Structures are given as structure tokens and as C-alpha cells.
Amino acid sequence: MGKVIAIANQKGGVGKTTTSVNLAAALAILEKKILLIDADPQANATSGLGISVDDKKLGTYELLEHTATIDKTIVKTNVAHLDIIPSHIDLVAIEIELVDKKEREFMLKKALKPVQNQYDYILIDCAPSLGLITLNALTAANSIIIPIQCEYFALAFSYNFKQNVRRRYRTEVRTSVFANFTRGDFTTRS
Ligand SMILES: Nc1ncnc2c1ncn2[C@@H]1O[C@H](COP(=O)(O)OP(=O)(O)O)[C@@H](O)[C@H]1O
Ligand SMILES: [Mg+2]
């Protein structure tokens, strides 16, 4: 059974997509079978892996809505062993459309089941929010990587995040905080 890893942080610009794409590519080079799910309407992981975001394909939106089976949403990338489920800006609408669905936080977890044996790792690049898309990623995940900036508020947030996920969903989820940036990385050097 493939391990599901969500790369999440409520903050934007902390390196979630960079970590997701690079980790996915590195594991694929090690000949692990990888599925990367782009769960951010900004679709940066999708375009980052060379998939066009201009034409609308079946992807994370249909997967979360259960209007397409997962095999129809998987796209091969140019990297051997690395597949992606693409995103599109239309994914923003899912936050409203799922609201009155039963078990709305578990749509992704259920949708992943049929392919979980085909992959070594399923990585989920989350959006910078704690909305329904991210909750779906967190309930599907066996572990969560939280890329952060090295500063006090970021660390305090990641502790609360972990407690909230455990309390609310009672999942035995492992969380790892990954210090991606030091403050200096953000300074413009001339
Ligand atoms: N370790 C790093 N060192 C330097 N720049 C980085 C690093 N990780 C990410 N970046 C840059 O920071 C910006 C935001 O990263 P991104 O992965 O898009 O963040 P997020 O997905 O959390 O919004 C991008 O321009 C990216 O190239
Ligand atoms: Mg991103």
C-alpha cells in the first residue's frame, strides 16, 4: 500500500510546491512509483511538471467531486515513474460545492483507494489554506510535511496545526516540520 504524504502549510510561499515537485522527481529517479496530486487551484505543480493548465483536463476537481474515477484523472509526466493528477483554477469552486456533501472531508481518501497499491508514494501539494481541499488532503495522508520559514510564528503555527488535525480527525498522522527557508533567503542581495 503506497504511503500518502501531504505537503501542507496554511502560509503561502514557504516552499510547498517546490518541495512536492522536487521530492516527487527525486523519488521517481530512485525508481519509486510516484503519484503527485496537485491540490492547489494555482496549479503550480501541474505547470511545474510541464503540463499545460490552459486546457481543462479531468483532474483534482473531478476526483474530489467523485465525477470521474481516479484512472481517468492521472496524467503521465516526462519523468519516468512520475504521474500527476493536474489542477486547474476551477478547483476553487470545490470549497463551495462540497459543503453540503456527506463525509465531505473524506472524498479524496475514498477516491485514492483504487490506485493506492500501484504507487510507492502519493504526494499531495496543498493550497495555502485550511479549507476543504486541504482537509481532504490531511485526512487522506499517513504523514504530513510542513515546510516553514525559520521564525517563531511559523513554528507555533505548525504545533497547533498538528494538534488540530489529530483532535479533529483522530488520525494517527505523522507530522514533520521541514525548515525550508532561513530568513536570509528572503533578503534581496544586490
Ligand atoms: N529552499 C529554497 N531556497 C530558495 N528558494 C526557494 C526554496 N524553496 C522555495 N523557493 C522559492 O520560493 C518561492 C515560493 O515557493 P513555492 O514552492 O511556490 O511555495 P508555496 O507552494 O508554499 O506557495 C518560489 O519562487 C520558489 O522557487
Ligand atoms: Mg504552492
Output the domain CATH number for residue 30. 3.40.50.300
Ligand nearest to the CA of 41: 2
pLDDT at 57: 87
Residue 120 belongs to a domain: yes
Ligand 1 pocket, Cβ-based, cut-off 6 angstroms: 12-18, 44, 128, 180-181, 185
Residue 22 belongs to a domain: yes
pLDDT at 107: 96
Q: How far is ligand 2, taken at its centre, from the CA of residue 5, in Å?
A: 15
Q: Which residues of the chain have pLDDT under 70?
A: 168-172, 181-190
Sheet holding 75-76, edge to edge: 75-76, 82-85, 34-39, 121-126, 3-7, 143-149, 174-181
Q: How far is ligand 1, taken at its centre, from the CA of residue 15, in Å?
A: 4
Q: How far is 5 from 142, CA to CA, in rounded Å?
A: 6
- Condensed to tens digits (0 to 9), the pLDDT of residues 122-147 reads 999 999 988 899 999 999 999 989 89
pLDDT at 171: 62
pLDDT at 185: 52
81: cell is 515513474
For the residues of 32-86, what is the DSSP string, one character each?
A: --EEEEEE-TT-HHHHHTT--SSS--S-HHHHHHTSS-HHHH-EE-SSTTEEEE-
Residue 190 belongs to a domain: no
For residues 26 and 114, is the Cβ–Cβ distance under 8 A? Answer: no
Residue 186 belongs to a domain: no
Residue 112 belongs to a domain: yes
Domain tally for the chain?
1
Q: For residue 99, what are the contacts with CB-CB under 8 A and spacing of at least 6?
A: 132
Percentage helix, strand, coil for the chain under 3-state DSSP, each rounded to 5: 45, 20, 35
Residue 32 belongs to a domain: yes
pLDDT at 91: 95
Number of the ligand 1 atom closest to the C-alpha atom of 20 = 17
Ligand nearest to the CA of 23: 1
Q: How far is ligand 2, taken at its centre, from the CA of residue 12, in Å?
A: 7
Q: How far is ligand 2, taken at its centre, from the CA of residue 20, in Å?
A: 9
Q: How far is ligand 2, taken at its centre, from the CA of residue 89, in Å?
A: 13
pLDDT at 90: 93
Ligand nearest to the CA of 154: 1
- What's the domain range around 86? 3-181
Residue 188 belongs to a domain: no
Amino acid at 54: D
| DSSP H/E element including 161 | helix 152-169
Q: How far is 36 from 24, CA to CA, in rounded Å?
A: 7
Name the residue of 11, 14, 17, 18 to mutate for ligand 1: max ligand atoms within 8 A of Cβ.
18
pLDDT at 187: 45
Residue 187 belongs to a domain: no
Number of the ligand 1 atom closest to the C-alpha atom of 180 = 1
